[in-house]
Amino acid sequence: MTSTPLLRVTDVHKSFGALDVLRGVSFTVAGGERVAIIGPSGSGKSTCLRAINYLEPPTKGRIELKGSVIGEREVAPGTWRRMSDTELAPQRAQIGMVFQLFYLWPHLTARENVALQPEKVGGLARKEALELADTMLAKVHMSHKAHEYPERLSGGQQQRVAIARALAQKPALLLFDEPTSALDPELVGEVLSVIHELADEGRSMVLVTHEIRFAREVADRVFFMDQGLIVEEGPANDVLTNPQSERLQAFLRQMHRQDRG
């Protein structure tokens, strides 16, 4: 119990001008743990995820990965300074991120998309990087499209390549930012099943999602966020079957209606 958690988020605030998107979010994720964050749109869940790898630097608060502070450096005892993107790079390399809109690089083939990070950041030789890419593409069942450019792939295929790209950086933690929200309904399944397989491997992950049923299946714990705060958290089954707060109850009812509709 005393060992450092993989990820510790402490009192994170984020405001855009007068708008407070995060109003003091704290939680920890243990090694091998799978956490799902659910909540209505505008609740701050994506911002919270993007704060973890400092794509959205918090206005206040602290992120620690394996005990070391992300994005801030102690320049003098008690005085912390924001790191530049250049200084942040090695830290971000430890955190894999899958975006809602995939953001595959259109000028590279699927294989090159996956191999770029291991080669340029990880320092592998090009040949080894490409071999690693092939392994990762096999993991997401995309070997047959390795030499295609992203434009030739369906949304679901693109997202699977994006997952392979995140895996290739050998991350300690995987972040998923609504990975299926931009997909046509018939393509959601293939992406979810890949994420499911990764969860079964015991990878640590934080997943922001609208798929309540999927969250229940893969997550150890579920956080419900609303208006910039974690309103309710606990083991997935407890939180989703037996919601305590009125807001979560209302949210789940609404999601349920949409599911049937």
Residues that bind another protein (CB under 8 A): 53, 55, 84-86, 88-97, 99, 101, 103-107, 116-117, 120-121, 149, 151, 162, 165-166, 169
Measuring CA to CA, which residue among 36, 65, 39, 53 is closest to residue 195? 36
Shortest Å, Cβ 55 to another protein: 6
Shortest Å, Cβ 42 to another protein: 18
Of 53 and 209, the one with the shorter C-beta distance to another protein is 53
Of 77 and 123, the one with the shorter C-beta distance to another protein is 123
Shortest Å, Cβ 5 to another protein: 22
Shortest Å, Cβ 250 to another protein: 30
Of 109 and 243, the one with the shorter C-beta distance to another protein is 109
Q: Strands 205-208 and 173-177: what pairing? A: parallel
Shortest Å, Cβ 169 to another protein: 5
Of 58 and 96, the one with the shorter C-beta distance to another protein is 96
Of 89 and 250, the one with the shorter C-beta distance to another protein is 89
Shortest Å, Cβ 24 to another protein: 25
**3-state secondary structure labels for all residues of the chain:** CCCCCCEEEEEEEEEECCEEEEEEEEEEECCCCEEEEECCCCCCHHHHHHHHCCCCCCCEEEEEECCEECCEEEEECCEEEECCHHHHHHHHCCEEEECCCCCCCCCCCHHHHHHHHHHHCCCCCHHHHHHHHHHHHHHCCCHHHCCCCHHHCCHHHHHHHHHHHHHHCCCCEEEEECCCCCCCHHHHHHHHHHHHHHHHCCCCEEEECCCHHHHHHHCCEEEEEECCEEEEEEEHHHHHHCCCCHHHHHHHHHHHHHHHC
Measuring CA to CA, which residue among 108, 160, 116 is closest to residue 139? 160
Measuring CA to CA, which residue among 44, 80, 76 is closest to residue 64? 80
Shortest Å, Cβ 103 to another protein: 4
Of 121 and 138, the one with the shorter C-beta distance to another protein is 121
Of 167 and 218, the one with the shorter C-beta distance to another protein is 167
